[in-house]
Amino acid sequence: MSEETDLSPRITRVPFRIVLASILGLWLCYFLLITLRGSVVDLPMQGELVWRRGVVCLAGAAITLLLWLAIRLVEARPLAVKIAVALIAALPASLAIAQVNRVMFEPVQDQVARKIGEDQGVAIYRDDAGNLLVDVPAAAPVALDRPADDRVAEDAGSAAPPRTLVLAPAPTGTDRWQQLTDIALGRYFLLLAWAALYLALLAGAQAQAAQRREERFRSAAKAAELRSLRYQVNPHFLFNALNSLSALVMTGRADRAEEMIQTLSAFYRHSLAEDPTADLPLADEFDLQRHYLEIETTRFPDRLRTRLELPEALSNCRVPGMILQPLVENSVKYGVSASRRPVTITISAREEYGRLVLTVADDGPGKAGNAAAGFGIGLANVRDRLLARFGEQASIVSGATLDGYETQLRLPLVTHG
């Protein structure tokens, strides 16, 4: 029983493992680049900042996964819809990542600022009102008309009070929102970069799926064509066989009619057991034709001679089932039936320059006019089947010879199913 092929279209998706790998890869690259930048500019408290940055990146990966789920809902829609969803869904996603970033780094901002101040020899701190201040030492005024020794003694005895500068005023609600938006914009473009990568992966997967569907449709159409052409052979042969059987019964040759029925049964048991679209071993194809010629021998016991030549090395070559049947039928009809003398039908196989050459020949009348009248349908069927199965790799040549008529098939040498 042949297996039915499902040709119905399905939604093509990027495998989850690839989606997850792309998200983790994006945030891993971000983590490494930001950490490298911190090392280059020599930010203090790197250990404290690294683990907090790791938490932000993990949260970013989880939020990017939610963005993927939003895009996944419209994967079957046009590209413009998917782009619009990505642009819109990335906005709240970027704000969420910015908020996580603020929550993780806000507690250590003042510590980092103080550490930077200590390295620079100044005091940086935040007052009760929330302003970020820095104490800058002030230089005492110098009287240039006094002796240098007096100036040094006075400087040593009294130091000028430091000057306090405001680095940043206490943040208001608007300031916090602007800061959050500024961070979110950077993450927004990061998410859009990933969305563009994902849509490219999706487009590639859909293109591959479309190609596979096209190949399946082409294969199904080819199988249907082969099946149709193969089924054209059976009714024609059965019609001829029943006519022959009727003639035997009407002429009172019951023993030969019974013999023909048994041979006909064996022939159909053999031919119908195979998939009509499948290739057969060449040995099986020769057996089919041997059964058929045995049937026809019952009709022409004194006129039909047969010779089958199959080298052992070629017996396992694969050929379309019953590909020789129309050719052998025509040899019987226009060679044996049209002659008053014994006619030999020869079926042979040989290898030539890496190709399989099959020949069906008879030494009957062999006149082009008589042959042309009956070879049209049979040859057309064989030619179409070869074209459907092998394309331009197969050819068929037929015509009268000095000894009768011959048809030659040249096929690719296929030794497996």
pLDDT digits (tens, 9 = 90+) for 262-306: 877 776 676 565 555 678 889 988 988 888 888 788 778 889 999
HEC-encoded secondary structure of the chain: CCCCCCCCCCCCCCCHHHHHHHHHHHHHHHHHHHHHHHHHCCCCCHHHHHHHHHHHHHHHHHHHHHHHHHHHCCCCCCHHHHHHHHHHHHHHHHHHHHHHHHHHHHHHHHHHHHHHHHHHCCEEEECCCCCEEEEECCCCCCCCCCCHHHHHHHHHHCCCCCEEEEEECCCCHHHHHHHHHHHHHHHHHHHHHHHHHHHHHHHHHHHHHHHHHHHHHHHHHHHHHHHHHHHHHHHHHHHHHHHHHHHHHHCCCHHHHHHHHHHHHHHHHHHCCCCCCCEEEHHHHHHHHHHHHHHHHHHCCCCEEEEEECCHHHCCCEEECCCCHHHHHHHHHHHHCCCCCCEEEEEEEEEECCEEEEEEEECCCCCHHHHHHHHHHHHHHHHHHHHHHHHHHCEEEEEECCCCEEEEEEEECCCCC
Q: Average of pLDDT values for 189-203? A: 92
Query: Are both 149 and 181 inside the same structural domain?
Result: no
Print the domain residue range for 185. 8-126+172-229
Query: Are both 181 and 216 inside the same structural domain?
Result: yes
Query: Are both 36 and 163 inside the same structural domain?
Result: no
Least confident of 190-199, 210-219, 301-310: 210-219
In a domain, 2, yes or no: no
Query: Are both 121 and 153 inside the same structural domain?
Result: no
Beta bridge partners, 348, equal 309, 359
Q: Is the pLDDT of residue 211 over 80?
A: yes
DSSP strand pairing (318-320 vs 279-281): antiparallel
Least confident of 134-138, 209-213, 247-251: 134-138
86-121: pLDDT as tens digits? 999 999 999 999 999 888 877 776 666 666 666 666
Q: Average of pLDDT values for 21-28? A: 94
Q: Average of pLDDT values for 295-324? A: 88
Per the rule left: phi > 0, alpha: psi between -120 and 50, beta: everything else, 354 is left
- Domain-terminating residue out of 214, 229, 244: 229
Confidence of residue 27 (pLDDT cuts 50, 70, 90): very high
- For residues 299 and 249, is the Cβ–Cβ distance under 8 A? no
Question: What is the greatest pairwise CA distance in the chain?
Answer: 156
Provide CB contacts within 8 A for 189, sequence distance 6+.
none
328-387: pLDDT as tens digits? 888 988 888 888 899 999 999 999 999 999 999 999 886 544 444 444 667 887 888 888
Provide CB contacts within 8 A for 368, sequence distance 6+.
399, 400
In a domain, 235, yes or no: no
129-148: pLDDT as tens digits? 556 566 666 655 555 555 55
CA–CA separation, 58 vs 35, rounded Å? 15
Nearest to 337 by CA among 302, 372, 369: 302
In a domain, 225, yes or no: yes
Query: Are both 137 and 281 inside the same structural domain?
Result: no
Query: Are both 98 and 190 inside the same structural domain?
Result: yes
pTM of full prediction above 0.85: no
Confidence of residue 66 (pLDDT cuts 50, 70, 90): very high
Query: Are both 259 and 365 inside the same structural domain?
Result: yes
pLDDT of residue 373: 44
Helix axes 173-250, 282-299, angle to 10 degrees: 30
Confidence of residue 68 (pLDDT cuts 50, 70, 90): very high
Query: Are both 336 and 372 inside the same structural domain?
Result: yes
In a domain, 320, yes or no: yes
Cα-based distances in Å from 228 to 162, 222, 234, 235: 101, 10, 11, 12
pLDDT of residue 265: 78
Q: Is the pLDDT of residue 208 over 60?
A: yes
Query: Are both 154 and 107 inside the same structural domain?
Result: no
- Here the CATH number for the domain that contains residue 346 is 3.30.565.10
Beta bridge partners, 78, equal none
pLDDT of residue 168: 60
Q: Look at 188 and 372; give whichever has higher pLDDT.
A: 188
In a domain, 248, yes or no: no
In a domain, 408, yes or no: yes
Query: Are both 64 and 189 inside the same structural domain?
Result: yes
Query: Are both 185 and 281 inside the same structural domain?
Result: no
In a domain, 396, yes or no: yes
Task: State the chain's mean pLDDT as an integer.
Answer: 78
Query: Are both 283 and 304 inside the same structural domain?
Result: yes
Query: How many domains does the structure of the chain reveal?
Result: 3
In a domain, 118, yes or no: yes
